[in-house]
Structures are given as structure tokens and as C-alpha cells.
């Protein structure tokens, strides 16, 4: 779920994922694109600068970590003037928050496989792929959220947006009769995905894609056994 | 579960939790205890210094964060000479790793309430309390683990130890006939606890103790519905 989380094609240069991360997904990764012929894009200089800056923030973060982020390093890497960056984003917290806010601008919707267990499995595979890919933007942004209050708040909002979108999976399952009406979508989705984050981000365990499937199925079994029910307690 | 996680009585001064965190739980919190009458403890100067240093690391971490930790700040806070600290712990990574290693030296065992759902609920209430208490050592150490490879490795080992101990909960449930033999204890325990870490540590959501009970019950329902089974997939 590169779209559900925060993978970045500009960094990984995976054609498959092109355009996933809001505005920034469309940017070149060629240094000072303002100087390149053909670098102009719809939206003009402002949108172009934003894309270049986001790209630079993510690349810098996964390659050199939070401590390397500054207005100056982002200016150098993006080719956007530091005065412009300072005026618009102010500081590292502002840069990280905007990267995360932009990630909410895409049109991602959860997979529709025709069954609850299928949908949860598809979501979990995307989450697992995003967390475990080389130089994962997602894990880098999570790590940064422990340094920056603004990044933490933006990450919270990002995930909130994703859980709202993913609630469609639960709604469909209720409509198919797989789940009782009133099932708590957020709790079910957290139960399905939390073990992945726990293993990869907190326990730093070596994981395989099997974990994604198991966690999805475990949450599915819990749901059909009556967990996440509304009147509980 | 102050014992299952990493709460610290020296910092919170909660009498209820006294002695929970390995050696360090027994230390005074009065500055340079070497100068105080009656401050000598079993184990002599070395053990006493270790307790004072651990206490200082934890207090400094929860009050001022990772960036404030240094051999000098720990020396000043603990009253232990910086040469001693440097010789024994070397650097901040060594200090954090030893605090975590010491937390594995206690004799904590999981609660035995007589039922699987009761045991999981009791564990989750301890986890939730440790994560959400004011100036939580647990969350401070998790945050530090994103800065220090040695702390991350030590935290991994700490949790590994806790999951091994908590497997007794699953063993007893199998013996009582609540669970099928071969149930994957680690997966069940991660499923029960991960939503708490996810909400508190990653999502930074406001939570209540109800979440602990719900997550325990959800994992229990999944387990009795056949999740965490050995032959799966």
C-alpha cells in the first residue's frame, strides 16, 4: 500500500508507483529543474517548487536522516532558493508537515477484492511493502515524527485520513452480510495493520509478506467472531 | 504492566511500583547518594553507581529528551564521576542499552487470572498504564530507539524477553483447553498489545483504559476463532 502509506517514487524511481504521493510524485529528481528545458509543469512555478521541495525532503530524509534536514540542505538539493523555502515552509517541521499533508491529496481508495479478508490482505500487503522497502519514506517519516511535533501531528492527520477512506472496506463487508452492522471500522483496521507496524517499526523484526497475510486473516477472524462490535463493554 | 514495559519508580516516585525496573528501581533520587549517610547498598559501589546512573538516564530522558543525554549530563545528575561513566558505558548508546538490559533482570512474570481473556486484559492494562503515564519512561525509550542503534537493539531484546515470559499465558490457556495446542504465542501476544502501541506511540491518539480491554478481548476472540494456528497458510 504505497498509496495508503507514504512511499515515494521520486526516491525509489519505481515506475509502478509513479504519481502516488500527491503533487510530489510528479517531480523530476534532477537537481535544479528550474534550469532544465521542459521542466515546467501545470500549476506553474509555485506547484513546481513545491514538488521539488517535497522530493528533496523525502530523498534527504531516507538517505541521511532527520538530522541532515535543514532549509539549506533542502534548498541545495531541490534547487529552490532558500529564501523561497524559508518564506513558505519556515523550518524543518513545516517542510515535513507539508510533505505529509500533500500525501493526503491523492485519490487513493482501498482495494475492492470482493471479500473482507481479501480487502484486508490487500491493504496489509501495501503497508508491508511500504514499510520494508529499501530507504522507506514511510519509516523515515515515522522516525522523524519523534523529533518534530508538527510532523507528528501531520502524520496523525494522514493516518486519520487513510482510516476514514479504508472504512469503505468495512461498509462493503457489512453490506455483503459478512459483518454485523455497527462494527467499529477503525478498531478493525487498526487490529489488522498494527501488528505490521509493531514488528517492523517498533520490534525491528525481520518480517516477510506472510506476516501481512496472517495479520489480515487474524483480524478478519476476530471480526467475524464478534470483536469490534458496537455495544461491547 | 510497569514491569512488562519500562516504567520507572525512581522518576515517578510511585511507591506501588517500587523495585520494578531491575537494579535501578532501588536507587534513591536524591542527587549524589554517595555522599549521603545510609546510601550504601548491597553490591557495593559498582552496583550502586549503576543504579544511580540508570536512574539519571531515565530521569534525564523523560524530562529533557534524547538530545539532552550525554556522559556529562548523566554524570552531573547521578553524582557518578564522568570518567567512571565513560569507562563503563562509553557513550549515550551504551547507557541506554544498559538501562534496557537491566530491565530484563527483574523477576516479572505475567499475571495469572485463571482465564486467557483475563490474563491478556491484565497485561494490556499494564502496557497501557506504562505508555500513558506522565513522563513515561517507556515512550521515552521508544523515541530514543529511533536515534540510537544500540538502544533499538536493546529494546528489541527487552521485548523479546517479555514475549517469551508472556508465552506462559498461552501455555496455560492451552492446558485449560481454551486454545488449540500449537497456537502461536508470539503472534497472539503481538495482536493483543500492538493496537495499544499503535494508538499511543504512532497515532498519538488520546486513549482510555477501555482500549486495553477491547484489544485484549479482540485478540482473545481471534484466538478462539482459530487465528494464530500453527498450520495456517
For A176-210, the pLDDT digits (tens) are 999 999 999 999 999 999 999 999 999 999 999 99
Q: Which residues in chain B are closer than 8 Å to A6, comparing Cβ atoms?
A: none
In a domain, A232, yes or no: no
On whether both A211 and A137 belong to a single domain, the answer is: yes
- The grid coordinates of residue B196 equal 495499544
In a domain, B111, yes or no: no
The partner residue sitting opposite B198, judged by closest CB among A143, A198, A228, is A198
On whether both B121 and B184 belong to a single domain, the answer is: yes
Rg (CA), chain B: 19
Q: Which residues in chain A are closer than 8 Å to B148, comparing Cβ atoms?
A: none
**ipTM topping 0.90:** no
The partner residue sitting opposite A204, judged by closest CB among B152, B187, B197, is B152
On whether both B184 and B87 belong to a single domain, the answer is: no
CA angle A73, A78, A79 (to 5 degrees): 100
Q: What confidence category does residue B17 fall into, taking pLDDT thresholds of 50, 70 and 90?
A: very low
Is the separation of the CB atoms in B179 and B224 below 8 Å? yes
In a domain, B127, yes or no: yes
Q: Compare B40 and B129 and report the one with higher pLDDT.
A: B129
The whole domain housing B54 covers 9-103
pLDDT, one tens digit per residue, over A217-226 is 999 999 999 9
pLDDT computed for residue B43 by the predictor: 72
pLDDT, one tens digit per residue, over B154-192 is 999 999 999 999 999 999 999 999 999 999 999 999 999
Largest CA distance in chain B: 63
Q: Compare B175 and A38 and report the one with higher pLDDT.
A: B175
On whether both B216 and B137 belong to a single domain, the answer is: yes
How many other C-beta atoms lie within 10 A of the C-beta of residue A26? 18
Q: Compare B4 and B142 and report the one with higher pLDDT.
A: B142
DSSP assignment of B25-44, as one string? GG---SS-GGGSTT---TTH
Q: What confidence category does residue B81 fall into, taking pLDDT thresholds of 50, 70 and 90?
A: very high
pLDDT computed for residue A31 by the predictor: 41
pLDDT computed for residue A213 by the predictor: 96
On whether both B150 and B64 belong to a single domain, the answer is: no
Distance CA A147, CA A158 (A): 17
Task: Please determine, for residue B31, whether its predicted confidence score (pLDDT) is greater than 90.
Answer: no
In a domain, B3, yes or no: no
CATH of the domain at A52: 1.10.10.60
Q: Looking at the 3D structure of chain B, how many domains does it have?
A: 2
Smallest CA–CA distance, residue A143 to chain B, in Å, is: 6
Amino acid at each position: 500500500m504505497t498509496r495508503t502509506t507514504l512511499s515515494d517514487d521520486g526516491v525509489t524511481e519505481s515506475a509502478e508507483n509513479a504519481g502516488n504521493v500527491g503533487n510530489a510524485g510528479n517531480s523530476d529528481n534532477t537537481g535544479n529543474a528550474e534550469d532544465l528545458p521542459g521542466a515546467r509543469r501545470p500549476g506553474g512555478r509555485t506547484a513546481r517548487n513545491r514538488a521539488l521541495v517535497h522530493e528533496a525532503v523525502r530523498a534527504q530524509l531516507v538517505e541521511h536522516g532527520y538530522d541532515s534536514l535543514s532549509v539549506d540542505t533542502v534548498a541545495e538539493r531541490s534547487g529552490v532558493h532558500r529564501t523561497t523555502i524559508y518564506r513558505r515552509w519556515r523550518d524543518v517541521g513545516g517542510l515535513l508537515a507539508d510533505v505529509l499533508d500533500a500525501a493526503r491529496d491523492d485519490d487513493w481508495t482501498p482495494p475492492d477484492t470482493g471479500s473482507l479478508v481479501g480487502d484486508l490482505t490487500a491493504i496489509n500487503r501495501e503497508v508491508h511493502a511500504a514499510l520494508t522497502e529499501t530507504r522507506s519514506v514511510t519509516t523515515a517519516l515515522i522516525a522523524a515524527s519523534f523529533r518534530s511535533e508538527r510532523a507528528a501531528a501531520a502524520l496523525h492527520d494522514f493516518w486519520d485520513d487513510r482510516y476514514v477512506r479504508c472504512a469503505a472496506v468495512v461498509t462493503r463487508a457489512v453490506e455483503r452480510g459478512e459483518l454485523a452492522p455497527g462494527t467499529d471500522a477503525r478498531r478493525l483496521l487498526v487490529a489488522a495493520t498494527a501488528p505490521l507496524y509493531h514488528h517492523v517499526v517498533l520490534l525491528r523484526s525481520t518480517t516477510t509478506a506472510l506476516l501481512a497475510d496472517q495479520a489480515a486473516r487474524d483480524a478478519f477472524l476476530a471480526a467475524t467472531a464478534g470483536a469490534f462490535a458496537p455495544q461491547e463493554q
